[in-house]
Structure 1
Amino acid sequence: MQIVLVADHAAINGGQAKVAIESALGLASRGYDVTLFAACGPVDARLEPAGIRVVCLGQDDVTTTRNPLAFAAQAIWNGHAADALARELARYEVGATLVHVHAFAKALSPSIGRALRAAGHPCLYTMHEFFLVCPTGGFYDYRAGAICHRTPMSASCIGTNCDARSYPRKVARMIRHVGLSHVARLPQLFEHVITISTLQESVVRPLLPPGTVMHRVDNPVSLAQAPLQEGAPGDFLFVGRISTEKGAPIFAEAARRAGVKAVFVGDGPDRDELAARYPEAVMLGWRDPAAVADLMRGARALVFPSIWYEGQPLTVLEALACGTPVIVSDACAGREAVVDGETGYWFRSGDPEALAAHLRRLTDDALAARMGRAAHDRYWTAPLTLDTHLDRLGAVYDTVMRPAAARRRAAAGQRSPAPMAV
């Protein structure tokens, strides 16, 4: 089977690209012929030595463009990407090729739908976020600081300025969504969709065409099993983007109320403001994955106070794998990995006093250690390794390919010469 993975980026710049690239490497190691088609470089140095064909267009995304107007046009309809993808897909045999789309919203645009439909290969889409059904991709109202429950592209949605930057940017995103829905018709094209959490599936299912087949494939966690760290637990830890939607201000305020130290690993738009308002908080900036794992193993608990849905936050899973309890907002998908009262706590989303109450509880060293052991034991009974991810992905690929493979075999049989009479 030929697998063509489609993504915005050819190198790891976040969780979405990490899953795409790590799965590409894993699939190649299992003998699949793998191609990665991406808009933006650089190219991960591991891909080509692993035998993976890489097609990278060298385009910009929103973080690298020097021409915002040109990029806005690219984000709405990237004709160059559509043409390049069409040429690439023409290389492969129909019935023996599967196209797995991981991302399109940051650079490729919905224009890829034109190439995918014309090529005729079975398609699969992993919903790392919500751009397939929500024009801003997150079901989050940045102005209100709350989850958005409006129907996408309804009159209420169109009239609401919910974008993180400006209403004109939302208008551009809505124009893109019209192209996605009515020109590229991506929701109809992706008859098979991979989801990564139960919450995500419950949110998107009513918005997808009837008959869409959903497959649950958890993201892989790359941490190796290690012994639990000895000694008293350390401080409470936040890892990720320091921003309002991630709940960073709620953690800082809750830590002050509880009289505990808040340690932030990461960066983001709220960092300077929080550092000024809460000088007792520790701001470590970004750290490499090994350093983050070490910080997690020594932490009293990971605090994940996100106030939007999330997809399947890897930070929560990594903390549990490290043997660190997790205190998580009850509104986000991260709660699905935490057994409330056993491997951590859920708290009422957006409520710093509710979070502070759990922080106070976990100042008890014995309780923190007990929850850490429970988190470690529970996670490692069924770890989300790359092999587990690939096993499940292979089963989904077989399901998606089955009708096309049957048609290919039937066509081959019709072309075979009739047996000679004896």
Structure 2
Amino acid sequence: MRILLAVHHFPPRYSAGAELYVMRLARALLRHGHQAEVVCVETIEATEPFRVDVESDQYAGIPVWRLHLGLQDAPAQWSYDNLAIAAWFAQRVQIFQPDIVHLHSGYLIGIGALRAAYAQGIPTVVTLHDYWFLCPRITLLRGDGSLCPQPPADPAECAWCLHLDQRRYRWPARFSAGLAGKVWIALAGQTERTRQQARRDTLRAALAQADLVISPSQFLANLFKEWHIPVQTIRLGLPHESFASIPPVQAGSTIRLGYIGQIAPHKGIHLLIRALKRLPPNGKPIELRIFGNLDQHPAYTRSLHHLIGGDPRIHLAGKFSHDQLPNVLEQIDVLVVPSIWYENSPIVVLEARAAGRPVIASRSGGLVELVQDEVDGLLFTTGDSRDLARQLQRLRTEAGLLERLRDGIQPPPLLDEEMQIIFQHYTALVERRTASRGIG
């Protein structure tokens, strides 16, 4: 089979969950004798004229097409329905002749790959890694930092939420207890309402046309029930052999906490630092190592430095290559996932499980499907540093807790098992297309 994979970013410059997942999928396809190509957005230049430049590349044996977007004078719908990207995909589909086009997330790259596939009768698969189809901010995290339980009925509320990224809107909203937003929506929201409704309608129609929609978590799948779009939950898998050499957690003189992932506000690292600093000074020593790219969001990194304030227990360890992950996990006893957004199915939690590391995580989103509270980890109230501090303190005071959580860990699904399910779906879609052509 020939599979065209489309995703917002790709290694080596980017290495978040969706990017690493697509790399694993592409490698698995190539390993099983299939052909696979990846299309991603490499750079965005807001000051360049609206255009799409493309470069051909190879990464880890995977053919990669890297798009460079210029956004000056770009049409309003560029962020989800970029016609220039769609035109390039139409050409690439004609040349590569894929059996399947598989879109991951949709962020930045938009629905151009789906449009090109539909036009040529090629089956399409969409994997939902985040909330891009539902939320223009992608995270279901409002501009004021609060969680959005679900997309609001009035799309003008989404427009107002986007405005809250700007201080001139955020301050009036804060000091008016929400009244400013209601007034704006009532008086000035019609144009933005129409624009956001167009986004919803376009993305809903595109997703409804997909032959298969996949979610790694049931939480995310459930959010699409109102759209009446069937979403199949397929759990992520891991190659266990990568973690086999990591020694098991042993109760030592110091409890070693770790955060591994993006250094970004929605990941809640500030919450973890505050929780650690709430702990009483006496008791078993505890330290925190934060692994991730410190240059991705410089302002947030500066705020973390300020919050740490020279505390010797907290270390900003910086980024690492993915092949160093086993070594990183070996340096910690417990992984903490303090996200303030609804995580879907973070691969790092599965990697911690494969390494035998308990996880302390926010009680929200797909995390509650991955972490069994009091069995293989601990859950805390999302956004509550006091509750997180309470769970951290238990590691210091409850004899045998760390060992009990460690012993309760079950290994995550195998990558080969997940890939087999994906390949079976691919095969079924290709056979269905072949049969329909034969009938015609």
Output the TM-score relative to the length of structure 1. Answer: 0.81
1:230 CA drift (Å): 4.7
Q: Which amino acid aligns with 1:368?
A: L
- Report the Cα offset of residue 136 of structure 1: 2.0
- Give the secondary structure class of the aligned counterpart of 1:3: strand
Instruction: Give 1:416's aligned residue.
Output: none
CA distance, structure 1, for counterparts of residue 26 and residue 37 of structure 2: 8
Within-5 A mapping of 1:188-207: 188-206=208-226
Which residue identity lines up with residue 115 of structure 1 in the other structure?
A: A
Sequence identity (%): 21
Measure the CA separation in 2 of the matches of 1:152 and 1:352: 31
The equivalences for 1:68-83 within 5 A come to: 69-70=73-74, 74-75=78-79, 77-83=81-87
On the 8 A contact 1:7/1:104 being kept in 2, the answer is: yes
Q: Larger deviation: 139-148 or 187-196?
A: 139-148
Runs of 4+ aligned residues of structure 1 deviating over 6 Å after TM superposition are 170-174
Counterpart of 1:337, as a letter, is L
1:251 offset after TM fit, Å?
1.0
1:246 aligns with 2:262: no
Select 1:59's aligned residue among 45, 48, 68: 68
1:108-147 matches, cutoff 5 A: 108-147=109-148
Contact 1:345–1:358, Cα closer than 8 Å, also in 2: yes
Cα distance in structure 2, aligned partners of 1:91 and 1:228: 50
Q: 1:277 aligns with which of 300, 307, 314?
A: 307
Residues 1:310 and 2:324 aligned together: no
Matched, 1:219 2:252: no
Aligned length: 389
Q: Given residue 81 of structure 1, which amino acid in structure 2 is its aligned partner?
A: I
Cα deviation for residue 42 of structure 1 reads: 7.5
Which residue of 2 is the match for residue 264 of structure 1?
A: 290
Structure 1 unpaired stretches of 5+? 412-422
Sort the Cα spacing of 1:10 and 1:294 in 2 relative to 1 into closer, same or farther, 3 A: closer
Q: CA deviation at 1:326?
A: 0.7
Shift of 1:166: 7.6
What is aligned with 1:333? 366
TM-score by length of 2: 0.78
Task: Give yes or no for contact 2:5–2:102 (8 Å, CA) kept in 1.
Answer: yes
Query: Does the CA contact (< 8 Å) of 1:302 and 1:327 recur in 2?
Result: yes
Gap change, CA 1:173 and 1:44, over 3 Å in 2? farther
Partner residue of 1:36?
38
Aligned partner letter, 2:107: A
Identify the residue that residue 158 of structure 1 maps to in structure 2.
159
Please state how far the C-alpha of 1:147 moved relative to its aligned partner: 3.5
C-alpha distance after superposition, 1:130-182 (max 9, x if no partner): 112222222111313333534266343333346646899x9999848725733
CA contact (8 A) 1:196 1:219 kept: yes
Give the secondary-structure state (helix, strand or coil) at the position aligned to 1:43. strand
- Equivalent residue number for residue 390 of structure 2: 357
Q: 1:385, CA displacement in angstroms?
A: 3.2
Q: 1:27 to 1:113 in 2, by over 3 A?
A: closer
List runs of 5+ in structure 2 lacking aligned partners: 43-54, 170-188, 281-285
- What is the aligned partner in structure 1 of residue 92 from structure 2? 88
State whether residues 155 and 197 of structure 2, in contact with CA within 8 Å, keep that contact through their aligned partners in structure 1. Answer: no
Answer yes or no: is the 8 Å Cα contact 1:147–1:307 preserved in 2: no
CA gap of 1:180–1:349, structure 2 versus 1, over 3 A, is closer
Distance in 2 separating the partners of 1:291 and 1:38: 24
Deviation for aligned residue 1:184: 9.0
CA distance in 2, matches of 1:173, 1:137: 18
* 1:100 corresponds to 2:102: yes
Matched, 1:346 2:400: no
Distance 1:358 1:261 in 2: 15
**Distance change in 2, residues 1:290/1:77 (3 Å):** closer
Q: Does 1:393 align with 2:402?
A: no
